[in-house]
Amino acid sequence: MEYLPNILFAIALIAGIGYFAKNVKKLIRNIKLGKAVDVSDHKKQRWQNMIRIALGQSKMVRRPVAGILHVIVYIGFVIINIEVLEIIIDGLFGTHRVFSSLGSFYGFLIGSFEILALLVFVAVIVFWIRRNVIKLQRFWKAEMTSWPKNDGNFILYFEMVLMALFLIMNATDIPFQNMESGNVISQFIAPWFNGASESTLHIIERLAWWLHILGILVFLNYLYFSKHLHILLAFPNTYYGKVKPKGQLNNLESVTNEVKMMMDPNADPFAAPAENDTEDVPEKFGASDVTDLSWVQLLNAYTCTECGRCTSECPANQTGKKLSPRKIMMDTRDRLEEVGKNIDANNGEFKDDGKQLLGDYISNEELWACTTCNACVEACPVSIDPLSIIVEMRRYLVMEQSAAPMELNNMMTNIENNGAPWPYNQMDRLNWKDE
């Protein structure tokens, strides 16, 4: 029985990490449902972007208040988790504060963790106030109801509780308090427990210790279901993010091939397809569902933090249009999850569910409200490109469904007929010279 806690600990650890690994596998499988896209270019710039934007949080601090608070939580959270290493060793081997033999350096480490924990605690409270008391507009848009709204708050509670447990655990740890080193913050919490007996203190300490580590394991597994996935995915996402000028949209290769065929006087339209031309299904232009998007766009969707910076800068959204770039990303993720679950439920095959991203999640009205201004792309702190999804879906609407608004059809007919979006004669193109 003596080893019971160790065994329980090992089971919790394995279960926690195992379930997490299972979800990561699912995540990767879902992302790979996207179309292949070449991302082997600009290696150096990609690394730089990742270091600058994800690690250095360069885009977060453009909004200084939220930015600096976020940096605190981020650094605090990452560094304090070094402590988890000690917890795991202690838990598995029944030791107590195995690193405390490091002496004053240990004191220094734990001391810094305690300060960070307090800072994180305070920062998270400010975040909570911004969301729930000040009600910053971007957290109260149409798409931020039910789960997304709760999710945002759950994470804050989680962090508050984890930080509190960490400090309580230290405050009630008598040997640690007696060390008089590293208890920078917890020494002020210890007196709250003054009346308690040594054994009660020990129980509280153990309880806090267990809840802390179990909390971390639960948190780890919560990520997959939450916008908080960005703490992991921000890194690959900023690496694979757009490295071309923001104004540059990709040229559809399938269209290039067809246009070349049409323009080439030597091409024989009736020629039998070449031997290696295995694709007899005509290629679909644009995207009506998540599987028509590229895997980078799907990674984007999982990375989205739902911060709403994009939406708050979007000219369409600011003028009351239905479009919200954040919603585009959330819809993409929700639909992708739905497709993933469908695949799980049907032995690894997707079974048509009569639904798709276009129409069931994202409406034409939203898509046609976009001015392609790139404000959303510029604003996103983790290099997400909502615009690319909007354009891909417009392509489907126009090229597969001929469902452009009438005025746009007229405009396009004009371009076809006289090389300008207006119905003017091409021969009058130089008239301005003499007017």
Partner 1 sequence: MSQSLKVPTMAEYMAEGKQPEILFWVGSAGSYDDRAKKITRAFVKLLNKANVDFAVLGTEESCTGDVAKRAGNEFLFQMQAVTNIEILNAYDVKNIVTACPHSYNTLKNEYPELGGNYNVKHHTEYIEELISSGRLKIENNSNLKGKRITFHDPCYLGRANEVYEAPRSLLKSLGVDLVEMKRNRRTALCCGAGGAQMFKEPEKGDQDINVLRTEDALKTNPNVIATGCPYCNTMMTDGVKAKEREAEVEVFDIAELIAQAENL
Kindly list the residues in this chain that would bind partner 1 in the complex (CB under 8 A): 244-249, 251-252, 255-256, 258-260, 262-263, 285-286, 313, 315-316, 318-323, 365, 368-375, 377-379, 391, 393-399, 404-405, 407-408, 410-412, 415-416, 419-422, 424, 426-435
User: Min. distance of Cβ 421 from partner 1 in angstroms?
Assistant: 6
- Provide the mask over 277-316, with x wherever binding to ligand SF4 is found by CB under 6 A and - wherever it is not: ---------------------------xxxxxxx--xxxx
What is the Cα–Cα distance from 397 to 404, expressed in whole angstroms? 7
Residue 161 partner contact from ligand SF4, partner 1, none using kind-dependent CB cut-offs of 5 to 8 Å: none
User: Min. distance of Cβ 388 from ligand SF4 in angstroms?
Assistant: 10
Which residues between 325 and 384 bind ligand SF4 (CB under 6 A)? 325-326, 329, 370-376, 379-380, 382, 384
Residue 304 partner contact from partner 1, ligand SF4, none using kind-dependent CB cut-offs of 5 to 8 Å: ligand SF4
User: Min. distance of Cβ 42 from partner 1 in angstroms?
Assistant: 15
Q: Which is closer to partner 1, CB of 44 or CB of 433? A: 433
The closest of 95, 135, 66, 69 to 6, measured between CA atoms, is 95
CB proximity list for 338: less than 8 A, separation 6 or greater:
353, 355
The closest of 310, 354, 303 to 332, measured between CA atoms, is 303
Q: Which is closer to ligand SF4, CB of 107 or CB of 381? A: 381
The closest of 111, 131, 114, 112 to 69, measured between CA atoms, is 131
Which residues between 131 and 160 bind ligand SF4 (CB under 6 A)? none
Burial (Cβ within 10 Å: 0-12, 13-18, ≥19) of residue 288: buried
User: Min. distance of Cβ 248 from partner 1 in angstroms?
Assistant: 4
Assign 3-class secondary structure to 306-328. CCCHHHHHCHHHHCCCCCCHHHH
Residue 435 partner contact from ligand SF4, partner 1, none using kind-dependent CB cut-offs of 5 to 8 Å: partner 1
The answer to whether 187 contacts ligand SF4 (rule: CB under 6 A) is no
Q: Which is closer to partner 1, CB of 11 or CB of 261? A: 261
Whether the Cβ atoms of residue 94 and residue 6 lie closer than 8 Å to each other: yes
User: Min. distance of Cβ 109 from partner 1 in angstroms?
Assistant: 40
| Tokens describing residue 349 | 């095959």
What is the Cα–Cα distance from 257 to 254, expressed in whole angstroms? 5
The closest of 221, 193, 166 to 14, measured between CA atoms, is 221
- 301-333 in b/e burial notation, b at 16+ Cβ within 10 A? bbbbbbbbbbbbbbebbeeebebbbbbbbbbbb
Q: Which is closer to ligand SF4, CB of 81 or CB of 371? A: 371
The closest of 219, 159, 228 to 16, measured between CA atoms, is 219
CB proximity list for 163: less than 8 A, separation 6 or greater:
80, 117, 118, 120, 121, 124
Q: Which is closer to ligand SF4, CB of 156 or CB of 387? A: 387
User: Min. distance of Cβ 286 from partner 1 in angstroms?
Assistant: 7
Q: At what angle do helices 82-93 and 4-31 cross, to 10 degrees?
A: 130
The answer to whether 323 contacts ligand SF4 (rule: CB under 6 A) is yes
Residue 310 partner contact from partner 1, ligand SF4, none using kind-dependent CB cut-offs of 5 to 8 Å: ligand SF4
The answer to whether 234 contacts ligand SF4 (rule: CB under 6 A) is no
Q: What's the alpha-carbon Rg for the chain, to the nearest Å?
A: 28
Which residues between 384 and 423 bind ligand SF4 (CB under 6 A)? 384, 386-387, 390
- Residues interacting with ligand SF4, by CB under 6 A? 304-310, 313-316, 323, 325-326, 329, 370-376, 379-380, 382, 384, 386-387, 390
